[in-house]
Amino acid sequence: MIKTITSLLICFAVSIQMFGQNFNLELQSNILQGEDCSDVWGFVDSSGIEYAVIGTRSSAKIYSLEDPKNPILRYTAPGARSIWRDMKFYDNHIYVTQDQDTFGLTIIDVSQAPDSISHTQWKPQLTIGNNNARFLRAHNLYIDEKGFAYISGHNLSRRGVMILDLNVNPKEPILVSAVDVFYSHDSYVKDDILYSSELSNGFGIYDVSNKFVPIELGRGRSGNNFTHNAWLSDSTKILFTTDEVASGYVESYDVSDPSNIRYLDRYKTNAGNSRVIPHNAHVLGDFVVTSWYTDGVIIKDVSDPANIVKVGSYDTYIGNIPTSGSLFLGCWGAYPFLPSGLILASDINTGLYVFKPTYVKAAYLTGNIYEREKGSTGAGTPLSGARVQILNSDVDKFLNDNQYKIGITPDSTIKVVFKYPGYPTDTIEVNLASGTIDTFDYYFEREIMTDVNDLNAISAFYIYPTSTSNQLTIVGDVYNQPYEIISVTGTLVQNGQMNSNNLEVRSLNAGYYFLKIMHNSEFVVMPFYKE
């Protein structure tokens, strides 16, 4: 539904919108494991009973969920002592990788669950390229709808993706081939297309319709240059990635043409804390469910993949985010695919979680931003480079043109802030409803000024020319002040200390940027365009 806002009030009152850490996820149960945990997965047995499978330092444990509030431990498959343990389910078998020691692939037979469950270890001698060695460990795996397993980060050759056929004998996989270009941290496969997350090498897209001869179709690079995981939309056109680094993002890419991958949007939780790390993202219809270490489980509405919106969360991590040391604490995995709708989560420190989610559609506010003289009723001039925020939320967007679209979990009232250097910050109050798109055009009204000094009365600094090829001039007392240049995607591209009022920018690529200069212990932000 699309509707238009006819009137908006300047906000002077306190908003009643509450953005708590835990919303739209109801805790059913939490089971401590007595040791650090890793990933989690789920499956349904032949009688319809749902199960959770969680990795620990020493084993993979299977819990039945007949009563989600009281999971029952049904089986423990011991394995290597390993920090990393990942698992997938296919045809009444659970396949478990461990990235330490020499246990190979653990294969758990659950065809007779819950009455009888057993497991074996698979670690044959294999040949990939010129490397012949025993298969001993792997980081992750994925199993496609045709019964082929894709083993990522194994111990052979370049540690790429090993393709195994599970159809002949699920307990004795057959090596078919390998995608052995780069180390693969994780993989996803749909309709014979492999999406391999290859850390600093970005993500590779491969045609594996001929399992014996994989062909690279395209390659992308996520914003923080550390592609940890990738998952495809149901439409197969949109790929969602995570960068496993501090202050990393969930990002969306249009991959309908692998030779021309297009960036769409990014989302970063806990915008005020640069030490929060995303981990794994999984797509369920119009939603992405992500495990986010010290920020727990986060649900995002991605029905508009160019505008990712947080609509649910539960923080499983107990305590404050550390100011130093390891950040690999809290929620490791989140599994949203059980038929009941339950979400399973694993917390490194506090074990297995079972949640009942409520999937709520986001509400959106969209429009254009203009500038015009104060008191004018004219159409105004399109203004690029503005900043739009929603108070008490993670929404904080710098615009590379004059159009904006922001989203939020719907509630009674939210406060939207419009900012642009040289203009007073303005806040509006607006009501938004789930699944709606409201439109509102905003106008920055400029005073009629005669010289630079008039402008400096409003803003600490002023830059010109704002469309430049080589050099910016900054009017104001900037000597010895720290500065940063940020791209519209949030990437730091240049920084240093001002030693004059002129700043060299000829090395930058063409596009929009933001110059940040320190003033009174805060950064002043000014947009410009590099020709």
pLDDT score of 521 more than 80: no
Residue 468: closest CA among 517, 520, 503, 432 = 503
Output the domain CATH number for residue 367: 2.60.40.10
What Å distances lie between residue 497 and 381, 405, 493, 517, CA to CA? 34, 34, 14, 9
Q: Which whole number is the average pLDDT over 342-354? A: 98
Residue bearing the bigger pLDDT, 456 or 75: 75
74 and 66 Cβ atoms separated by less than 8 Å: no
Output the domain CATH number for residue 288: 2.130.10.10
Same domain for 66 and 8, yes or no, is: no
Number of domains composing the chain: 3
Same domain for 394 and 525, yes or no, is: no
Percent of all residues in the chain with a pLDDT value above 90, rounded to a whole number: 69
As beta bridge partners, residue 298 has 290, 313
Domain that residue 376 falls in: 2-15+362-446
- pTM to 2 decimal places: 0.81
> For residue range 1-19, what is the model confidence (pLDDT) as tens digits?
444 443 333 232 222 233 3
DSSP state of 239: E
Is 452 domain-assigned? no
At residue 459, the pLDDT reads 53
Which of 432-462 are b and which e, b meaning 16 or more Cβ less than 10 Å from the residue's Cβ? beeeebbebebbbebeeeeeeeebbeebbbb
Q: Tell which of 305, 331, 357 closes a domain.
A: 357
Is 266 domain-assigned? yes
At residue 3, the pLDDT reads 41
Residue 461: closest CA among 477, 445, 450 = 477
Is 336 domain-assigned? yes
Same domain for 86 and 212, yes or no, is: yes
DSSP state of 318: -
Q: Which whole number is the average pLDDT over 188-195? A: 98
Would you tell me how many other CB atoms lie within 10 Å of the CB of residue 340?
12
380: left (phi over 0), alpha (psi -120 to 50) or beta: left
Please give the Cα distance from 128 to 180 (Å, whole number). Answer: 8
Residue type, 172: E
- Written as six digits, the tokens of 287 are 């939603």
Residue bearing the bigger pLDDT, 450 or 36: 36
Q: Tokens 């709520």 correspond to what residue? A: 360
Same domain for 465 and 518, yes or no, is: yes
111: left (phi over 0), alpha (psi -120 to 50) or beta: alpha
Percent of all residues in the chain with a pLDDT value above 70, rounded to a whole number: 93
* Radius of gyration in angstroms for the set of CA atoms belonging to the chain, rounded to a whole number: 26
Please give the Cα distance from 332 to 38 (Å, whole number). Answer: 6
